[in-house]
């Protein structure tokens, strides 16, 4: 692209971000035509994008020469940081060692069990550059949860922190696996016995990086394998290709929805990476996309309100992507003030809907004009399906669908419904996953004959294409923005020797959004307290999945087909 064209584009973006003309421009540009077709398919109002045919690591590093000395990632707690140039070199060296010393080959899966440390991007990029597939694991998972994902993903290695090694070793023992553990050292502590240092692997100047020429990955190959429960059931491997993730990065670049300014010699956006990289929301929208634009990632390994608020000021963070509990915290925490929030320019909420009243409370605390918006997506859609335009003040909406995307609202008979009618939202676009790993039955359930993905969410779409998520068909419980599948907790409960049957539902919670509530049927003659059951669950699941209330009942209400009637439990006990 010619320099004059780049300068013109940058001036246009600056005008859009800083002028009241934005609203006029967005309305004129977006509403040129009806987004509804005669068949009640809703098209994107945004200009179609051309999706590069390359690998994700090529896409992320393509403009490295523009900002080699800019900071790529920094730890908000310790100040440990890496420049883009340094990050690129470390990831390349790590990739070469993955192929040379661990025999990682094209398509092999490597598990990453890390919090948001500044090394995370280099670990992920190194795996991709070695031809591998990244499968992320929540670092607070128990050994039972970890071993399940290691087996399902067929991981060849796992990368974690020293503090998680005991959990990983226990998981490997349960799963009867013998794979190497690579540890990212973040302090001066000793390396746990039997593990390998990521730091040494990534700083190994002697490794021959020419082996990376052997990597043959194309845009349709799988590169990211997160685990999601989909609309229901136990976690399933979501196969996301290089093409899926690159498409989603390009889709959120549209000038009317983009949440960043380009990096220049005198400007670099600072994005707070508080949402976990192991979740697709942060992996795509914060890590991969922002790296492709030379933006600084300010990482917080663990969330603590005071540390988070201090980091906003210290690093002059101007962009954050959040979930509802974080917005509510910023609106209500005693340490939060107009001063601590003074640098914020863009705040985008996702993971779960936020009430307009909560947004208003947040605005009253901020005390200055800023862009606030909401987005909608799923792990299976890489994740972004829709996002509010920068000029939008409709805080109850999740905006219009991004470019190259189509959606329908359907009834129970799969009939496409018209504007302002509630039904299940289904989506088709280049960001939609290839499918669930080794699960053809689940794929049949979620894909329609014409290639739309069933989100399991209830929505309404108005005549302009604005989407409002109204409810969900799926059974997932949203705890602080995280998905908790009832089926997983029910399976854990049934492992207890005194329990015959169990059901779990989500109930409203003032701080968590929702909380799991369990109903348990004991075996004849068995005696066990709810406290003992609680302790049994707590040792087997991550903290956010823990059940807050257990009720002993005589029988679980079920349909003639054996399906748990959660609605009956809610009506009777909640």
Shortest CA distance to 73 belongs to which of 157, 186, 170, 154?
186
How far apart are the C-alpha atoms of 137 and 163, rounded to whole Å?
A: 15
Is the peptide bond between 383 and the residue preceding it cis, with omega within 30 degrees of 0?
A: yes
Q: What are phi and psi of 538, to 5 degrees?
A: -60, -30
> What pLDDT score was predicted for residue 8?
39
131: left (phi over 0), alpha (psi -120 to 50) or beta: left
Q: Which two tokens stand for residue 418?
A: 């018209």
| Edge-to-edge strand list for the sheet holding 453-461 | 42-43, 406-410, 423-428, 453-461, 467-472
> How many other β-carbons are positioned within 10 Å of the β-carbon of residue 401?
28
Question: Considering the domain boundaries, does residue 439 fall inside one?
Answer: no
Instruction: Enumerate residues 6+ apart whose C-beta is below 8 A from 490.
Output: 502, 503, 504, 564
Q: Contact at 8 Å (CB) between 322 and 285?
A: no
Question: Considering the domain boundaries, does residue 556 fall inside one?
Answer: yes
pLDDT, block means (10 residues), the chain with 574 residues: 38 41 40 80 97 97 98 97 98 98 98 98 98 97 96 98 98 98 94 97 96 97 91 85 98 96 97 95 97 98 93 98 87 93 95 74 91 94 96 88 98 95 96 97 95 94 94 79 85 91 92 93 93 95 95 86 79 88
Three-class DSSP category at 97 = helix
* Parallel, antiparallel or unpaired: strands 222-224 and 196-197: unpaired
> What pLDDT score was predicted for residue 21?
40
Token look-up 């550059």 returns 129
> What pLDDT score was predicted for residue 31?
43
Token look-up 């600072």 returns 270
> How many other β-carbons are positioned within 10 Å of the β-carbon of residue 18?
9
Angle subtended at Cα 237 by Cα 239 and Cα 388, rounded to the nearest 5 degrees: 65
How far apart are the C-alpha atoms of 558 and 220, rounded to whole Å?
A: 42
How far apart are the C-alpha atoms of 479 and 300, rounded to whole Å?
A: 20
353 membership: H or E segment, kind and range: none
Q: How many domains does the chain have?
A: 2
Q: Contact at 8 Å (CB) between 184 and 161?
A: yes
Torsion of CA 17, 18, 21, 26, to 10 degrees: 10
> What pLDDT score was predicted for residue 235?
87
How far apart are the C-alpha atoms of 121 and 107, rounded to whole Å?
A: 19
How far apart are the C-alpha atoms of 422 and 427, rounded to whole Å?
A: 15
Q: Of 194, 217, 240, which closes a domain?
A: 217
Q: Of 217, 242, 270, which closes a domain?
A: 217
How far apart are the C-alpha atoms of 77 and 384, rounded to whole Å?
A: 29
Question: Considering the domain boundaries, does residue 378 fall inside one?
Answer: no
User: How far is residue 193 CA from its own chain's centroid?
Assistant: 32
Question: Considering the domain boundaries, does residue 136 fall inside one?
Answer: yes
> What pLDDT score was predicted for residue 25?
39
> Could you tell me the CATH number of the domain that includes residue 201?
3.40.50.980
Q: Contact at 8 Å (CB) between 570 and 525?
A: no
> What pLDDT score was predicted for residue 6?
36
Q: Contact at 8 Å (CB) between 392 and 400?
A: no
How far apart are the C-alpha atoms of 380 and 428, rounded to whole Å?
A: 11
Question: Considering the domain boundaries, does residue 15 fall inside one?
Answer: no
List the helix and strand counts (H, then E) for the chain.
18, 28
Domain that holds residue 551: 477-573
User: pLDDT tens for residues 540-571?
Assistant: 999 999 999 999 999 999 865 566 888 889 88
> What pLDDT score was predicted for residue 561?
54
Radius of gyration of the chain (CA): 24
Q: Which ranges constitute the DSSP H helices of 456-523? A: 486-494
How far apart are the C-alpha atoms of 120 and 127, rounded to whole Å?
A: 11
Q: Contact at 8 Å (CB) between 278 and 286?
A: no
Q: Contact at 8 Å (CB) between 233 and 485?
A: yes
Question: Considering the domain boundaries, does residue 268 fall inside one?
Answer: no
Q: Which ranges constitute the DSSP H helices of 422-565? A: 440-446, 486-494, 530-538
pTM: 0.84
Q: Of 217, 238, 261, which closes a domain?
A: 217
* Parallel, antiparallel or unpaired: strands 406-410 and 423-428: antiparallel
How far apart are the C-alpha atoms of 277 and 514, rounded to whole Å?
A: 22
Question: Considering the domain boundaries, does residue 3 fall inside one?
Answer: no
Question: Considering the domain boundaries, does residue 64 fall inside one?
Answer: no
How far apart are the C-alpha atoms of 112 and 225, rounded to whole Å?
A: 10
Q: Contact at 8 Å (CB) between 539 and 142?
A: yes
User: How far is residue 84 CA from its own chain's centroid?
Assistant: 23
> Could you tell me the CATH number of the domain that includes residue 518?
3.30.300.30
């Amino acid at each position: 692209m010619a320099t004059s064209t780049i300068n013109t584009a940058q001036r246009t973006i600056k005008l859009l971000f800083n002028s009241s003309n934005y609203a006029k421009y967005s309305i004129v540009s977006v509403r040129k035509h009806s987004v509804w077709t005669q068949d009640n398919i809703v098209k994107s109002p945004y200009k179609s994008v051309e999706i590069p045919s390359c690998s994700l690591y090529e896409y992320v590093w393509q403009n490295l020469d523009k900002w080699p000395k800019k900071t790529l990632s920094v730890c908000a707690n310790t100040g440990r940081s890496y420049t883009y140039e340094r990050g690129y070199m470390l990831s390349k060296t790590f990739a070469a060692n993955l192929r040379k010393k661990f025999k990682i080959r094209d398509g092999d899966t490597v598990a990453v069990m890390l919090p948001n440390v500044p090394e995370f991007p280099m670990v992920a990029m190194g795996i991709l550059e070695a031809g591998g597939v990244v499968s992320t694991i929540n670092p607070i998972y128990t050994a039972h949860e970890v071993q399940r994902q290691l087996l399902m993903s067929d991981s060849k290695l796992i990368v974690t922190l020293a503090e998680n090694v005991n959990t990983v070793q226990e998981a490997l023992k349960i799963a009867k696996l013998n794979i190497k553990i690579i540890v990212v050292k973040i302090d001066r502590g000793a390396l746990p016995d039997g593990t390998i240092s990521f730091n040494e692997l990534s700083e190994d100047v002697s490794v021959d990086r020419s082996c990376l020429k052997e990597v043959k990955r194309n845009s349709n190959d799988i590169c990211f394998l997160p685990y999601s429960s989909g609309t229901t059931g136990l976690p399933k491997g979501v196969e996301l290709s290089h093409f899926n993730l690159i498409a989603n990065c390009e889709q959120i670049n549209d000038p009317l929805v983009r949440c960043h300014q380009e990096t220049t010699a005198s400007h670099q956006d600072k994005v707070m990476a508080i949402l976990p990289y192991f979740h697709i929301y942060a992996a795509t929208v914060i890590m991969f996309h922002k790296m492709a634009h030379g933006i600084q990632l300010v990482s917080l390994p663990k969330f603590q309100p005071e540390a988070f608020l201090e980091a906003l000021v210290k690093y002059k963070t101007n962009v954050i992507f959040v979930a509802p509990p974080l917005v509510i915290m910023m609106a209500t925490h005693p340490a939060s003030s107009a001063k601590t929030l003074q640098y914020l320019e863009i705040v985008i909420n996702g993971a779960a809907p936020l009430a307009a009243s909560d947004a208003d409370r947040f605005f009253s605390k901020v005390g200055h004009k800023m862009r606030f918006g909401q987005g909608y997506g799923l792990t299976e859609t890489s994740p972004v399906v829709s996002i509010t335009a920068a000029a939008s003040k409709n805080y109850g909406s999740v905006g219009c669908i991004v470019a190259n995307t189509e959606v329908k609202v359907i009834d129970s008979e799969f009939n496409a419904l018209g504007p302002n009618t509630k039904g299940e939202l289904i989506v088709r676009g280049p960001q939609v996953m290839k499918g669930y790993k080794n699960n053809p039955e689940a794929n049949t359930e979620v894909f329609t004959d014409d290639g739309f993905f069933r989100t399991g969410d209830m929505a309404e779409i108005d005549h302009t294409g604005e989407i409002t998520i109204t409810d969900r068909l799926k059974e997932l419980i949203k705890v602080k923005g995280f998905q908790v599948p009832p089926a997983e907790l029910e399976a854990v409960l049934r492992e207890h020797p005194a329990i015959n049957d169990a059901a779990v539902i989500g109930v409203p919670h003032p701080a968590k959004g929702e909380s799991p509530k369990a109903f348990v049927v004991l075996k004849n003659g068995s005696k066990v307290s709810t406290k003992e059951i609680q302790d049994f669950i707590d040792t087997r699941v991550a903290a956010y999945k823990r059940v807050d209330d257990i009720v002993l009942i005589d029988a679980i209400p079920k349909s003639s087909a054996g399906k748990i009637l959660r609605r009956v439990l809610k009506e009777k006990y909640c």
